[in-house]
Structure 1
Amino acid sequence: MSLSDDGGYGGDRGPETGQTRTRLPDSGGDTYGSGRRSRAGVSSRNLVTAVSVVVLLIAAIAFANRSDTGNTDSASDSSPKSSTPQPTAPTGTKPVTGKNGDIATGFAKTEQGAQSAAANYVVALGSADMFNRTQRHKIITTVMAPPAVDTFQQTLDKAYSADFYKNVGLHVDGSTPAGMTFVSRTIPIGTKVKDFSGSQATVEVWCTGLLGMAGNGSTKPVTTSWFTITMKLAWTKSDWKALTHSQKNGPAPVSGDVPASGAKEIAGAVEGYGGFTYAR
């Protein structure tokens, strides 16, 4: 979750005309649709649509789980090129296997590798561990390039102040009140390469996040936010490391009508559902 969180989209409706005329080419009536379609025709069309959706889902699942035999994802690999880029489509490249603590490492020196690194690094930088000074310093040392560590660490040490801890429901030392579960998670929705030169990359990561305190009597309930993080990366010691990290609000979708869960259910979900290693 980020330190600063900031609405919505929808379609405009045209003026009402009082009467709508619909042309139905298949009907046996006049040109303004006085005839009616048979229920059998509508049912058949609905069945075809439903079957088509199922087929598409099966194809998508098969693509996501393909074995990709022969793809080594090594540092010498080049990113696949396409005349019609689809930034929201997964590449199918297998996740990295290396880790430094809980943070994935060993990304390929490709556009895919840079996107995977950025996605995993924003998760680490938005985790609840960032509210603990010792853990925060470990995360910063892992994800940031050496020249950026000291400056970024000093900036965040000032940002994670006693007032900030109090504002999110923690004690002034950053500890969690008894009987409460502190929640801070960043979840990448997608990534996009803005610039890539081989040894440097600029990647945008669109995210949603959770922040707040779950527990009986909490005055800081867990809320969601939407934001985009821009991360500049440099190829350092055979891996991608972050040079800079900035954030802006949105894009944010319209909120759904799902009722909010109780504090106990939210706390159970946070403790019971682990995170992921992200791969572009």
Structure 2
Amino acid sequence: MSLGDDHEPSGGYGGTGQTRTRLPEGTSDVYGGARRGGRSSSRSLVTVVGVVVLLIAAIAFANRGGDDSPAGSSAGDKPEASSTAASGTKPVQSKVAGIPAGFTHDQQGAQSAASNYATVLVSADILKPTRRTQIVQQVFVPNKQAALQDQLNKAYSRTFLSQIGLDANGNAAAGHTYVSRTVPIGTKTTSYSDTTATAEVWCTGLYGTAGEDSTTPVTSDWFTMTLQLEWSGGDWKVDSFSQKDGPAPVPGDAKASSADEMAKAVEEYGGFTYAR
């Protein structure tokens, strides 16, 4: 599901009915050649490259000398490696309507808020009318809630839900499990002030319907969400957001699981509260 700054729902990931078709073996290689070789040769190459990288890193570290200048001291510096690591600070201490709330009033809090909001905005819950209302009221700034609620209700109408195999309450047919789950990979702020912030969240996710006779089997996707945030009511809230494809890695060689295995995994494995 994707909403632009003007809150117009568009087709795409997150329950909007988009389907993907897996190409036959040998026709989907991104480099236009034959299928990649076995895992053993790849692992040997990775081992050799890994040793070389470690040696270079060790030499570079030894040559650093006594430079004790703080990392990131200049606003124009490129991000240090540590800037992408977990900070170790808990993002929130509470939840409202099952959604993390009470983020810190700083860049770390804005990024944590954006990550957690991405998981609910592109989820199966957004297709359920009652749950959708709770999400809108908790995630968005008050002056945007009514208009956005109306837009989403129109976008996820009974007709639309029926087209993707869901009933009026957003539930899949008996024997099927609808899946739309988002996992943030990383996040950054591209602008920040005491009252507003823009955060980008790089995500991967699953979407589709698990079931033996499903015409839209569960597949994966990679996308980046940009969230415009405001500090409102003592917390970070979303003013608007948009979504674009990628960056996406080269597909791996993992064997696809059965519909039953996928449905069981979705039901048994819970989600996380995401921290910057």
Shorter-chain-normalised TM-score: which range? 0.7 to 0.9
- Farther-moved stretch of structure 1 (87-96 vs 229-238): 87-96
- Residue 172 to residue 238, structure 1, CA distance change in 2 (3 Å): closer
- Farther-moved stretch of structure 1 (112-121 vs 151-160): 151-160
Are 1:141 and 2:149 counterparts?
A: no
Are 1:4 and 2:25 counterparts?
A: no
- C-alpha contact (below 8 Å) 2:210/2:217 kept by paired residues: yes
Correspondent of 1:85 among 79, 82, 86: 79
Q: Which residue of 2 aligns with 1:249?
A: 245
Are 1:263 and 2:271 counterparts?
A: no
- C-alpha contact (below 8 Å) 1:204/1:229 kept by paired residues: yes
SS at match of 1:276: coil
Please identify the structure whose Cα radius of gyration is greater: 1
- C-alpha contact (below 8 Å) 1:124/1:139 kept by paired residues: yes
Distance across 2 between alignment mates of 1:168 and 1:257: 28
Which letter maps to 1:214?
A
Q: Which residue of 1 aligns with 2:180?
A: 184
Alpha-carbon shift at residue 9 of structure 1 (Å):
10
- C-alpha contact (below 8 Å) 2:183/2:203 kept by paired residues: yes
- Farther-moved stretch of structure 1 (89-98 vs 128-137): 89-98
Q: Which residue of 2 aligns with 1:94?
A: 90
SS at match of 1:148: helix
Correspondent of 1:108 among 104, 113, 123: 104
Give the structure-2-normalised TM-score. 0.72
Q: What 5-or-longer segments of structure 2 have no aligned partner? A: 3-10, 19-27, 34-46, 59-70
Give the structure-1-normalised TM-score. 0.71
Q: Give CA deviations for 1:175-211 in whole Å, capped at 9, x if unaligned.
A: 2101111111111111110110111001011111211
Alpha-carbon shift at residue 219 of structure 1 (Å):
1.6
Which letter maps to 2:255?
P
Distance across 2 between alignment mates of 1:251 and 1:164: 29
Distance across 2 between alignment mates of 1:208 and 1:163: 28
- C-alpha contact (below 8 Å) 1:230/1:246 kept by paired residues: yes
Q: Which residue of 2 aligns with 1:195?
A: 191
Q: Which residue of 2 aligns with 1:155?
A: 151
Correspondent of 2:162 among 166, 173, 195: 166
Which letter maps to 1:232?
Q
Distance across 1 between alignment mates of 2:85 and 2:102: 22
Write out the 4+ residue segments of structure 1 that deviate beyond 6 Å after TM superposition: 8-13
- Residue 81 to residue 197, structure 1, CA distance change in 2 (3 Å): farther
Coordinate RMSD, CA, aligned: 3.1
Alpha-carbon shift at residue 10 of structure 1 (Å):
6.6
Correspondent of 2:207 among 211, 233, 238: 211
Distance across 2 between alignment mates of 1:209 and 1:49: 32
The residue correspondences of 1:24-103 to structure 2 (distance < 5 A) are: 49=51, 82=73, 83-86=77-80, 87-103=83-99
Q: What 5-or-longer segments of structure 1 have no aligned partner? A: 14-44, 57-79
Distance across 1 between alignment mates of 2:189 and 2:78: 15
Percent identity of equivalent pairs:
49
Q: Give CA deviations for 1:110-155 in whole Å, capped at 9, x if unaligned.
A: 0000000010011111221111111101011000010111121111
SS at match of 1:93: coil
Distance across 2 between alignment mates of 1:12 and 1:212: 28
Distance across 2 between alignment mates of 1:266 and 1:12: 30
Which letter maps to 2:272?
F
